[in-house]
Every structure is written in C-alpha cells, then in structure tokens.
Chains A and B, each alone.
Chain A
Amino acid sequence: MEVTTGHSSPTPRKGFRRIWNSISQFFAQTPLLGWILGILIASTLELLIGFPLARAIGLNKAPVLFGVDIALKTPLLLPATLLYDLIIYIFPIVLVVRFLNPLTNRLAAWLLRFPMWVSALVHMGLLYLALDLWTSVSDYRVLVAKLMMIAIMITLSLNVVNGFMGEFSCSHPGFMALGAYSASLVTVFLFIGSDFGPAILPESLGPFIFPIALILGGLVASLGALLVAFPSFRTRGDYLAIISLAFMFIVKSLFENLEFLGGARGFGNQPNWASLPVVFIWTMLCIWIINNFVQSTMGKALNAVRDNELAADAMTVDTRKTKMITFLFAAFWAGVAGGLFAHVLRYVNPGTFGLQKLAEVLAMLYFGGLNSVTGSIVGAIGYNLLSEMLRPLELFKWIIIPLLLILVMLYRPTGLIAFKEFDLQKILQPKTPQTKEEVENVTPAS
C-alpha cells in the first residue's frame, strides 16, 4: 500500500499567507530599534511638512488617525489620504527600516553591551520621543494615546487572571472604579477642595503626591479583590465568574449610592496631572512588572494552577497563596489604571464601569490573545485604534468590531498572539549576527 506523506512535497503557500511571508522576510533583519527610529522619523516628518502636504493634496486638515476618519466621511478623499499616509508614514518607515539595518543592528548590539536596562531605557526613551512627536499635532491624538496606554494596563492585568491563571473574572470594571474613585478622592480633597473644605496642600506638591494617590487607588482595589479572592479558594470557573460579576454590580451600585462622591451624577474636577509622560511611565512600569511577575516562579505556578490545580498542589505549589496574590496583584494594576483613567478624563461616573466596560475589556483581551503580554498590548492597541478610526461610521462601528472579533475567535480561538512569552533580550537584540562567533555559528538560511 502506498502511503503518501504530506511532507515529501511541500504544498506551495498561497494567497494571503504568501504575501505575509514575503513581507515578514523583507523586514526580518530589522531590530526593534530600527522600527522605533522609523516611527520617530515619520513623526518628525509629519510635524514638519504634514500640514502643507495635506493642503497641497487637497485635504482640509492633516489626517488625525491615518486618514481613515476622513476617508470614511468623504470616500472621494480616499486617494488623497492614501497618498498622505504613503508619503508621511509608509515611505519613510520602510526606507529607514530597510536601509538603515546595518546601522541600527550595530547600534542595538552596542547597546546590549551595557546592562539590559540601559538598552531598554534607551528604547523606551526613543519610543516616548516618537509618541510625543506624533501626538504633538493634535490634542485628540494625545487623548487617544493616553486612553490606549491605560487600556494596555487594564488588559494586561486582566490577562494575569483570565489568561495566566485561567479563571474568568468579570470584576475588572469594579476594580477600576475602586481605583478611580479612591485616587480622585485623594487628589480632589487634598489639592482642589470640595464641599468639605478648601484644599489642604498647595497644588505645587501635587505631582509628587499623585503617584501615591494612584498607588492608594490600587491598594483599595486590591482590598476589594479580597471579596473575590476568598471565594476563589472554594469555587472556580463558572461560579467564580458569577461571584466576580456580582462584585462588579455591587461596586457600581455602591458608587451610585455614595452621595459625597456625586452618586450617579459622577465625580469630576480631578487635577490635570495625568499627562502623556506620566501615563507612559506608568504603562511601561506596568508592562515591566507584570512581565516579571508572570515569568517568575509565581507566574509558572499560575499556569500550573490553571492547567491542573490538584497536580499543582501535589507539586508543592501553594494554590491558595498563588490565587490570593494573583487577584490582589491584578486588581492593584486595574486600580492604578482606573486612577489614571479618572485623571485623564477628569470626570468619572459609576455608569462608566458597567457591563459595557466589561464587554470592552474582554474584547481587548480575547482579541489580543490569552497568556501573553505581547498579545495584551497588541489587543489593547488594535482595539482602541480600530474603535477610534471607525468612529465616523457611528452605529455601524458596533457591527464591524464585533464581527471582526467573531472572525478572530473562529479562526484563532485563543486570540491573535496567544501563549507567547515576552522576552526582552530577544526583542532588543540585533536581528543579524554581529560578533565573529555568532557569524560562524549561524546556520545557513533555510
């Protein structure tokens, strides 16, 4: 009997997959530094010639989010916006990314000769510079960028519980609300003054107290998380999902009834301290700490608890401690994100932290991918960008985004980038061999 093996003649990859492969091969030798430099140069270019260029090709104003909003409002302007994107973003980035490879690779290798954190800090600094330049064009971009970074924090912290520990927690809007209200309470009562009396401390002290207020918000959220963490010892899965859902409803209802916090009318007048660099620093801190957490022994214990709690217990994993710490940890970051959220919008009301928010957070998490730091970042950025860019479609936005998410679920049930470790060394290192030994060790390209 003849057995045909699929491997003897590899089937040619076709269509979308082939295009994707050739694109990724084209950029295979670009380190992260190259990408950041490309974005930096594109942002500078936009700042310098963006507006005149937009005028020259017949646009009234420079496109805010890659021109998608303009193209959706008036489809006739689509060629002009495409041209704009091509000149401002795609050409410079592709050129820099492709042809500065030798330089950026050498630079990345040189940076790695120092301790890792130096390299990481340089990358972050450049990234912030690019972000700052990109957002300096309009206030709308600043707001979008801030909300996007806060979404990254929330999605990451939810991923710790839902992805790494494998529970289905619905309580994150509740944690956010706790953090948002506590942090606002501290800042407003100390620095702005309210019905209870004038400001106690001078506003110049504010930026120093602000981190403390955020941390306090996080701690209050952790305290609330105890209410979900204790039942998690006895129940898991579906029943814990209900308990966390009930927790969310309780928190929302609690804030609706606290009259000194404005009740259902909301609580506003927060000081404007959540500037772009502040949010950026907190986001980077959050990514760094959560990534360390999930890669630590505790993080591995999380996965063990998820995959088989009994076996994990037998292998000396303290399951109770693991669950407790994880819930408190995730709630802490959700609380910090909530505090930042309140200070970005400078107004919160309990309705914000309801079922709508829950659906949004879950969508970002499952869009990006479970059990993966990269996935959460991609999910949060992708969802937020999409949601902002499709804004001109108004109602139909809420048909297109769910449809996209359903497609992602059908074809990649655990999300776009799931179960992938976030390895700093791998991300920062040059993509071509640099030293002599490396060149000798490298295997011929397949």
Chain B
Amino acid sequence: MGSFLQNVVNALQWGSFYALIALGYSMVYGVLMLFNFAHGDIFMVGAYIGFFIATGLISLSSLGILTLPSWALLALTILLAMFLTSFVGMLVERIGYRPLRGAPRASAAITGLMIGIILETGNLAILGATRKKFPDIIETTTFQLGEISLTNTKILIVLISLLLMFALHQFIQRTKWGMAMRAMSSDFLVVPLMGVPLNTIAALTFGIGSALAAAAGVFYGLAYPVLDPYMGIEYGWKAFVAAILGGRGSVVGAAIAGFLMGFLDIFVATYFPSTMRNLISFSIILIILTFRPHGFFGTAHSASLRL
C-alpha cells in the first residue's frame, strides 16, 4: 500500500510535466488546428533558459550583489523563464507557421518538426555535448508520512503546476482574449472576419503554450537536474499524444490526459520491466482511442479536416 501511494505521488509529479507540455499542444491545436511539433523542443529551450537564469541569480547572490530568499529565487527563475520562452514560441509561430496559413496542414507540421531539429542542433552547437546540471535553487527537505516520502520540490511542482493550469483555465474562460481563443477554435475562418485579430491570437496562443512548457522545463530541472539537448523529443511526442487524448482544444482534457500519461509511465514501470513502458502505455492509449476516437473531451469535428 505504501509503495502504491508513493507511486501515486511520483506519478503526479511525472504527469505534471506531461500535462503542462500537453496544454501548449492542445491550445495551438484548438485555435489554429495545427500541431506545433517544435513544442517538445521549446520545453527543452525553456529548461535551458531556466538553467541560465538560475545559475546567474545564484552566482549574483553568492557575490552578495543580490540577496534574495530561495523561494523568491525560484519564483523569479520560473517567471523569467516563462517570459523569455514565450518569445521563442512566438518566433516559431512567426517563422514557421504564419507564412503557411493557407498551405496544407501537414506542411506546417513539417516546418515545426524541422524547427525542432534546428533548436536541438543549435543548442548542441552552442553549448556543446556536456550535459548541464541544474542548480539546486531550494534546499530539498524530505518529509516522511508513514511509508511515503515526500520532498518539498515534489509538492511544489505539483501544486504550482495545478495552479498554472487553473490560471490558464480561468484565462480562457473569463477574459476577452480567452473568449477570442475559444471563438477561434469553434470557427477558424469566420471569427477573423468579425474583427478578432487572428495573428495576435495565434502569437498569444504560441506564447502562452511556450511559457507553460518553460515552467515544465524548470520543474523538470528541479526534479531531475540533468539537462541534455534531446530531452524534449520523447516528452514532446508523448505530450502530443496526451493532448490529442484529451480532446481538441480542451484544457481540462489535456491536463487529465497528461496526468494519465504520467500514471501509465510510472505504474507500468513499477509492475512490469521498465523496457515495456512504451509498449503497454501506448497499447492502452490505442485501446482508448479505438473506443473514444475524439478523446476525452473532444467533439467530432468535420471529416474534411485532415493533416
């Protein structure tokens, strides 16, 4: 029982990475009906930006120029990384997606894929092949609850992730910009005619999605402090699957499916050999999609839409 609960805690943390990344996919997919295949690599870029900010801030405070408590350091790192990475996302939209508005959707998917490869290789070319160690921003303390061991980073990661998801949900449901996004996802052709600026909304969508991916990147760095340039690939594709599983443009769906991916990964690895992880979790996803082809919260959309 204890190990089961321990796994639940681990899966919550693992799933929050997937959920945060999946939200970015899901938003872009909802608004523009496009897949941003560079998103996994934006997660990687976010983690690296977080790494540089954290190292910079820590060295500043060790020099005595800046004296901040560690919680403020963490908050500053997350916010700055989110802010800067959102510009990377907007840049990707501007270069790879905006010129291809009228083109077949698959073409934009291919540009996204290629931008992803450029981001990976560019990182490798600039920073070299040595893996970077994410600095310890906050002192890790472990609480023992019966047989479950909780660390403060785990609790923080899950809580802040949930908070970010809640904030995004509120943003989409309550604000004018969120309303524009929802309108755009219901009809991508007519809504721009009614005065909703398509380009601004698209850039905003990419920006917010990338900011969430950056948050996931920083959390990943806190939990598993080794970064490498190719870390975004598998996370990106799995989060992409989670986004589809959640249903088109559904924030709640993407979050739930992201956590489901995390649970599948952790629990399959516990009860079966860990090499079977992809085999079993993707088989389960295949079964789910066979019975619910439109995901958890998606609605059947027009058959004329295809990649």
B65 contacts A by Cβ under 8 Å:
no
Q: Report yes or no: A355 in contact with B117, Cβ–Cβ below 8 A.
A: no
A413 — which chain B residues lie within 8 A by C-beta? Answer: 100, 103-104, 107
B114 contacts A by Cβ under 8 Å:
yes
A250 — which chain B residues lie within 8 A by C-beta? Answer: 278-279, 282-283, 286
Residues from 248 to 307 in B contacting A, C-beta threshold 8 Å: 248, 273, 275-279, 282-283, 285-286, 289-290, 293-295, 303-307
B113 contacts A by Cβ under 8 Å:
yes
B241 contacts A by Cβ under 8 Å:
yes
B58 contacts A by Cβ under 8 Å:
no
What's the Cα separation between A256 and B306 when bound, in Å? Answer: 32
Q: Write the chain A residue with the least CB distance to B124.
A: A395
Q: Report yes or no: A239 in contact with B241, Cβ–Cβ below 8 A.
A: no
* Whole-angstrom distance between the Cβ of A106 and the nearest chain B Cβ: 44
What's the Cα separation between A406 and B111 when bound, in Å? Answer: 5
Q: Report yes or no: B279 in contact with A409, Cβ–Cβ below 8 A.
A: no
Q: Report yes or no: A242 in contact with B241, Cβ–Cβ below 8 A.
A: yes
Q: Report yes or no: B279 in contact with A257, Cβ–Cβ below 8 A.
A: yes
Q: Report yes or no: B237 in contact with A355, Cβ–Cβ below 8 A.
A: yes
- Contact code string A238-272 (vs B, CB < 8 Å = 1, else 0): 11011101110110111011000001100000000
Q: Write the chain A residue with the least CB distance to B281.
A: A249
What's the Cα separation between A309 and B306 when bound, in Å? Answer: 12
Given A249-B278, A250-B283, A256-B275, verify A362-B125 contact (CB < 8 Å).
no
Residues from 213 to 244 in B contacting A, C-beta threshold 8 Å: 233-234, 237, 240-241, 244
Q: Write the chain A residue with the least CB distance to B280.
A: A253
A79 contacts B by Cβ under 8 Å:
no
- What are 9 sample pairs from A and B whose C-beta atoms fall under 8 A apart? A238-B306, A242-B244, A249-B282, A250-B286, A253-B276, A310-B303, A398-B117, A409-B103, A413-B103
- Of A234, A253, A310, A363, which contacts B110 at CB under 8 A? A363
B82 contacts A by Cβ under 8 Å:
no
What's the Cα separation between A380 and B108 when bound, in Å? Answer: 20
* Whole-angstrom distance between the Cβ of A323 and the nearest chain B Cβ: 13
What's the Cα separation between A257 and B272 when bound, in Å? Answer: 11
What's the Cα separation between A396 and B276 when bound, in Å? Answer: 35
What's the Cα separation between A409 and B304 when bound, in Å? Answer: 22
B109 contacts A by Cβ under 8 Å:
yes
A280 contacts B by Cβ under 8 Å:
no
A168 — which chain B residues lie within 8 A by C-beta? Answer: 106, 109, 306-307
What's the Cα separation between A403 and B113 when bound, in Å? Answer: 11
B197 contacts A by Cβ under 8 Å:
no
What's the Cα separation between A210 and B279 when bound, in Å? Answer: 30
Q: Report yes or no: A402 in contact with B118, Cβ–Cβ below 8 A.
A: yes
A414 contacts B by Cβ under 8 Å:
yes
What's the Cα separation between A357 and B303 when bound, in Å? Answer: 29
Q: Report yes or no: B303 in contact with A309, Cβ–Cβ below 8 A.
A: yes
A166 contacts B by Cβ under 8 Å:
yes
B152 — which chain A residues lie within 8 A by C-beta? Answer: none
A interface residues, how many (CB within 8 angstroms): 49
Q: Report yes or no: A406 in contact with B115, Cβ–Cβ below 8 A.
A: yes
Given A162-B106, A257-B275, A395-B121, verify A247-B305 contact (CB < 8 Å).
no
Residues from 213 to 239 in A contacting B, C-beta threshold 8 Å: 227, 231, 234-239
B273 — which chain A residues lie within 8 A by C-beta? Answer: 257
* Whole-angstrom distance between the Cβ of B98 and the nearest chain A Cβ: 10
B209 contacts A by Cβ under 8 Å:
no
A243 — which chain B residues lie within 8 A by C-beta? Answer: 286, 289-290
- Contact code string B89-107 (vs A, CB < 8 Å = 1, else 0): 0000001100110011011
B99 — which chain A residues lie within 8 A by C-beta? Answer: 410
Q: Report yes or no: A402 in contact with B237, Cβ–Cβ below 8 A.
A: no
What's the Cα separation between A249 and B113 when bound, in Å? Answer: 18
- Of B107, B125, B241, B293, which contacts A409 at CB under 8 A? B107
Report the 8 A-B pairs with minimum CB-CB distance, sorted nearest first.
A413-B103, A168-B307, A402-B114, A237-B306, A253-B279, A253-B278, A398-B121, A235-B293
B277 — which chain A residues lie within 8 A by C-beta? Answer: 253
B289 — which chain A residues lie within 8 A by C-beta? Answer: 231, 235, 239, 242-243, 246
* Whole-angstrom distance between the Cβ of A115 and the nearest chain B Cβ: 39
* Whole-angstrom distance between the Cβ of B111 and the nearest chain A Cβ: 5
Q: Write the chain A residue with the least CB distance to B278.
A: A253
Given A249-B282, A406-B114, verify A399-B294 contact (CB < 8 Å).
no
Q: Known A-B contacts: A398-B118, A399-B118, A402-B115. Give 6 more (CB < 8 A).
A: A237-B305, A246-B285, A249-B278, A252-B278, A398-B120, A405-B114
A167 — which chain B residues lie within 8 A by C-beta? Answer: 306-307
Q: Write the chain A residue with the least CB distance to B245.
A: A242
- Contact code string A352-390 (vs B, CB < 8 Å = 1, else 0): 000100010011001000100000000000000000000
What's the Cα separation between A306 and B304 when bound, in Å? Answer: 9
What's the Cα separation between A104 and B283 when bound, in Å? Answer: 58
Q: Report yes or no: B241 in contact with A246, Cβ–Cβ below 8 A.
A: yes
A306 — which chain B residues lie within 8 A by C-beta? Answer: 306
What's the Cα separation between A410 and B101 when bound, in Å? Answer: 10
Q: Report yes or no: A246 in contact with B282, Cβ–Cβ below 8 A.
A: yes
Given A249-B282, A250-B279, A413-B103, verify A399-B121 contact (CB < 8 Å).
yes
B122 contacts A by Cβ under 8 Å:
yes
What's the Cα separation between A234 and B290 when bound, in Å? Answer: 8
A74 contacts B by Cβ under 8 Å:
no
A441 contacts B by Cβ under 8 Å:
no
* Whole-angstrom distance between the Cβ of A23 and the nearest chain B Cβ: 28
Q: Report yes or no: B233 in contact with A355, Cβ–Cβ below 8 A.
A: yes
Q: Report yes or no: A403 in contact with B118, Cβ–Cβ below 8 A.
A: yes
Residues from 36 to 88 in B contacting A, C-beta threshold 8 Å: none
Given A257-B276, A410-B100, A413-B107, verify A359-B241 contact (CB < 8 Å).
no
B35 — which chain A residues lie within 8 A by C-beta? Answer: 238
What's the Cα separation between A437 and B86 when bound, in Å? Answer: 68
B307 — which chain A residues lie within 8 A by C-beta? Answer: 167-168, 237-238, 241
What's the Cα separation between A405 and B108 when bound, in Å? Answer: 11
What's the Cα separation between A253 and B306 when bound, in Å? Answer: 28
What's the Cα separation between A399 and B117 when bound, in Å? Answer: 7
Q: Report yes or no: A236 in contact with B303, Cβ–Cβ below 8 A.
A: yes
What's the Cα separation between A168 and B295 when bound, in Å? Answer: 18
Q: Write the chain B residue with the least CB distance to A170.
A: B237
Q: Write the chain A residue with the least CB distance to B117.
A: A402
